[in-house]
Structure 1
């Protein structure tokens, strides 16, 4: 018998090969069922890579234990993936682009986008619930072992140091101090990680009266370590020396963990059911709050947006004003809590287990995991699960929410520390594509398109940041940072998703112009006479150039100044001295300047190698076109002034360029369509009843032109200027509108923000009200709206979608499905083989 006959492939049917192939496929599927799939790190676009900065480097987030993420976070409960991790323990960390969890004997690194296992390493573990801590980009700690986070290789193991020291002992690593602070019995120990390639050295040990063996959290904040005690007192230690800085007596034990924020330390009291706020410098009790219920505060709190949040056994999630301790709101879950966990905050939302099935007395409660609006307590969505409270195994990182579903039992660590039930899974909740985009200068780009690809459909407050003066400047956004000026003379850099201050730079006068960002640098207008070039990430001054912009000027109504535009390595802006300046973006040197016959408030638009701008000349307005490279004039078009009782010479609008045309305006009531090459006026639109100054820039989109026409937004045919539709808002409109995916965003002088449907004659989609009016134009970036206000604030609005309690669409797979597939595949293979053998038998 030949080999060919043995395998019997004469008719394309090889039973042995078929069986082997099916078994191989089934085995591969079965492996994936248990580990979410072995995967490489998923490639992402450069824009999405911006999200990698938003990590969760230890189980409480960062070292001050605010449990706040400064990145985006999901507004809907869409499950991206579920990863099976048999024997999973509590706590999640996320750093270096990965998700880290532990089992009873190993550390597991998961792909953030798929849940696939990147590596798993067995490590010596001696305690329950080990935690992965980031030390730096090349070292991570799990108990006494240091690993390479990228490969899982164990770099060293210490017999003296351990990051985990007992049940509910929340230890902390401080990257600021390069020190790890652990609680061991009644002592706080500080370990130096100055050289993480070697095991740490013990720096100091401080005795904590009433320290106890379990349940004491250690928090770091601004050079201090805050230690709890069963002795009804709160202590603060010097983080470098261990010296006790202050001790404040309380009316109940200060156990579990607190949070540090802005020279305040917050901790919930258990026995006295009281929330405490301490002055972190001297220990003074600034305020307390006692709800008067049959409950207690326990585990941990969270801090963001000027509020501190904590769950209580009475079933409420409380939000307090950090300054006063006043109750801002509370959310009542479905019942009391056996043992509350701790909330997590990000992107204007708060996530927490707000209902627990286990109850004392044999009663059955309701599992509930909630996402709430952090400002109001309004429910955005719920899931019928628990996130392994009271440890609350939740992390917000890379724009997603990661959690370990699992329930507490009535034993609650009374026996072994393992009195929990879990699904042995990690879930990722979020969206497959998080909007990440830039709006890098006034009106989005050098041509003044005023457009973005995606904007919000409703206006839910994500954050606000308070400056020291009115914010007339329009925000610019790049690389996840918002740049905006204020009348307090500062240029601010803020986190685009958090509103947190990154840096601020002081100038010599109020800033009304809008900054421009390019190639890691940010450029200001000449508000105090100088253009400043700063490092976009640090605020460090690179150069400044005098452009004589701080001259006396009488405004008829609004106050605006020329904003810089970046084009082909140069900065272009107008000045009140009547010159249009071109500066070298790298050095600040004046490449050329062009003199007009009047002050320039207009912000230049650049396209096709030409610079277009207005000048307020003695008897008539002028639109100029210059060669962007040389500054030579290409053409000049006169734009007659239109007058009203407060004036009529103020050329505060700015042109936009698209489709071979320049769209321009007079001082009020009149717009023009002009050939961009020749300067010839092709059409004129005028409204004799419009008496409001034009300070805006028209928006061109697909043959249509959106303009402000008195109290209305009008849509014109961009080719001939004919009106297609007009929507009456009822409010005075001045500043430039913005556009994104079929929607128009406008700010009014009656303290309103509107979203209009540009595809349906301007029908109003959504609105919001601010405390004061605004001369800041709306900026659309990252799927959000950013705008300044006269009330000294910068606001960020986003979409929030409300969903009642219901199972979300399960995009993950039940592992049992894969097991069934495995069984069916094996049985099918055996059936084929038996059938083949029977057939051969009959033939013989």
Structure 2
């Protein structure tokens, strides 16, 4: 190789190195968790968690929270069951603004740019898909369907996909809310659709998992399970992973819906699975009170961690940890390789326990989760620090009252004996 060619080659290597330095931080800096399970494949996995650390705080929404948070640009968007939508400062837990939706909410918000999309149950007999502009604080449009919307929307390009309790899957234009197509699949569609390469995957309470054409809603394939499907599918390595109330987690080939493998978890699967494809791990909760880790390739059992109640939240994965909540009122952080606990946090101090059905989200080294107790919590996922729950003070008050009663009874008994 000539000297000039060698010098040119060195220059090219230097340029490539400089580009790598600038490009990698940009690629890893997008820590937003803008939709359910973080992405359209619903993996629930953050590849680079980042180094953001928030203060430890607790935010009250004064109503049970079934929805999971969405995050964009250090603002958390969350709706309580009574339809109150809030924008919350991620650093200190203060409210930036509130908006009262017309209806109750179980679905989670999806955020893109200035637009927030969320479904609601109106008067228990119909549903609205809302598009709220988070910049000008005004409702852009709403789309009415004949039954409640419990399905969390999935957003890709200029199309939003979601299901409703009328057994239909919808595709809307995000700009004006116009309907692109609807497809009746039967049952109730509580599952959040997953979108991959032009195909929409979704489950129904009629026990069937569907693959639909994202352009027109036409059916590509379907697979029948043994009971209702309320969990959301996720996708990785050409496979669709989804649980059923028949107690089984299924791995289906995305191209034709044929069964790759299945695993019996022993009780109903309401939880949506999460995937760590780097380590071939699938994490899923069940009503057997377990979070279970399986091999994505063949369904081989790796480990299970037993909680005190049903696990119906979707796990979130970051670094070497997996985090999830249980109906026993506890938030768990486990080592994702071994299942060994690294932190358990029970804000209700057991005496005031409330189920945790809202799934955790992650930003940097911070974990955010909400509970049926009406509070949103900020935890330090790096140092594993937790805020002091308000229920600690309630517990102290109860103990003081109980002690006062005991002392009063003892004093009364002593006086009676004199």
Calculate the TM-score normalised by the size of structure 2. Answer: 0.74
Aligned pair 1:399/2:339, yes or no?
no
- The correspondence for 1:317, drawn from 291, 297, 301, is 291
CA displacement, residues 601-621 of structure 1 (integer Å, 9 cap, x when unaligned): xxxxxxxxxxxxxxxxxxxxx
CA pair 180-327 structure 1, distance change in 2 beyond 3 A: same
Shift of 1:98: 0.4
Aligned pair 1:298/2:270, yes or no?
yes
CA displacement, residues 230-284 of structure 1 (integer Å, 9 cap, x when unaligned): 444322101111111112233333333221223211111212x211100011111
CA contact (8 A) 1:133 1:142 kept: yes
Count residues with an aligned counterpart: 354
1:832 is matched with which residue? none
Aligned pair 1:175/2:176, yes or no?
no
48-57 vs 394-403, which moves further: 48-57
Shift of 1:54: 0.7
Shift of 1:368: 2.7
CA displacement, residues 788-822 of structure 1 (integer Å, 9 cap, x when unaligned): xxxxxxxxxxxx77x8xxxx5636778989xxxxx
CA contact (8 A) 2:227 2:244 kept: yes
Q: Which runs of no fewer than 5 residues in structure 2 stay unpaired?
A: 1-24, 120-128, 395-418
- The correspondence for 2:224, drawn from 235, 245, 249, is 249
CA contact (8 A) 1:97 1:112 kept: yes
Paired with 2:65 and 2:35, the residues of 1 have a C-alpha distance of 15
2:320 is matched with which residue? 348
CA contact (8 A) 1:80 1:812 kept: no
Paired with 2:41 and 2:151, the residues of 1 have a C-alpha distance of 12
Aligned pair 1:127/2:104, yes or no?
yes
Aligned pair 1:109/2:84, yes or no?
no
CA pair 161-346 structure 1, distance change in 2 beyond 3 A: farther
CA pair 816-344 structure 1, distance change in 2 beyond 3 A: same
CA contact (8 A) 2:167 2:188 kept: yes
Aligned pair 1:85/2:61, yes or no?
yes
Higher gyration radius (CA): 1
Aligned pair 1:100/2:77, yes or no?
yes
Shift of 1:376: 1.7
Aligned pair 1:374/2:336, yes or no?
yes
- The correspondence for 1:429, drawn from 354, 379, 384, is 379
- The correspondence for 1:190, drawn from 152, 165, 171, is 171
Aligned pair 1:160/2:144, yes or no?
yes
CA pair 300-388 structure 1, distance change in 2 beyond 3 A: farther
Paired with 1:400 and 1:65, the residues of 2 have a C-alpha distance of 20
CA pair 326-125 structure 1, distance change in 2 beyond 3 A: same
Shift of 1:177: 5.7
Q: Residues 607-686 of structure 1: matches in 2 within 5 Å?
A: none
CA pair 79-368 structure 1, distance change in 2 beyond 3 A: farther
CA pair 148-216 structure 1, distance change in 2 beyond 3 A: closer
Shift of 1:221: 2.4
CA contact (8 A) 2:203 2:210 kept: yes
Paired with 1:376 and 1:107, the residues of 2 have a C-alpha distance of 38
- The correspondence for 2:178, drawn from 191, 201, 204, is 201
CA contact (8 A) 1:52 1:398 kept: no
CA contact (8 A) 2:275 2:283 kept: yes
Paired with 1:247 and 1:213, the residues of 2 have a C-alpha distance of 16
1:261 is matched with which residue? 236
Higher relative contact order by CA 8 Å / sep ≥ 6: 1 or 2?
2
CA pair 428-68 structure 1, distance change in 2 beyond 3 A: same
Calculate the TM-score normalised by the size of structure 1. Answer: 0.39
Shift of 1:49: 9.8
3-state SS, counterpart of residue 158 of structure 1: strand
Shift of 1:187: 1.4
CA contact (8 A) 2:163 2:191 kept: no
Shift of 1:79: 6.6
CA contact (8 A) 2:28 2:50 kept: no
CA pair 388-140 structure 1, distance change in 2 beyond 3 A: farther
CA contact (8 A) 2:240 2:253 kept: yes
Shift of 1:402: 0.7
Shift of 1:125: 2.0
- The correspondence for 2:254, drawn from 276, 280, 291, is 280
Root-mean-square deviation (CA, aligned residues, Å) is 3.4
CA displacement, residues 623-657 of structure 1 (integer Å, 9 cap, x when unaligned): xxxxxxxxxxxxxxxxxxxxxxxxxxxxxxxxxxx
Paired with 2:78 and 2:29, the residues of 1 have a C-alpha distance of 18
1:508 is matched with which residue? none
2:196 is matched with which residue? 221
3-state SS, counterpart of residue 160 of structure 1: strand
Shift of 1:155: 4.2
CA pair 49-278 structure 1, distance change in 2 beyond 3 A: closer
Paired with 1:192 and 1:179, the residues of 2 have a C-alpha distance of 7
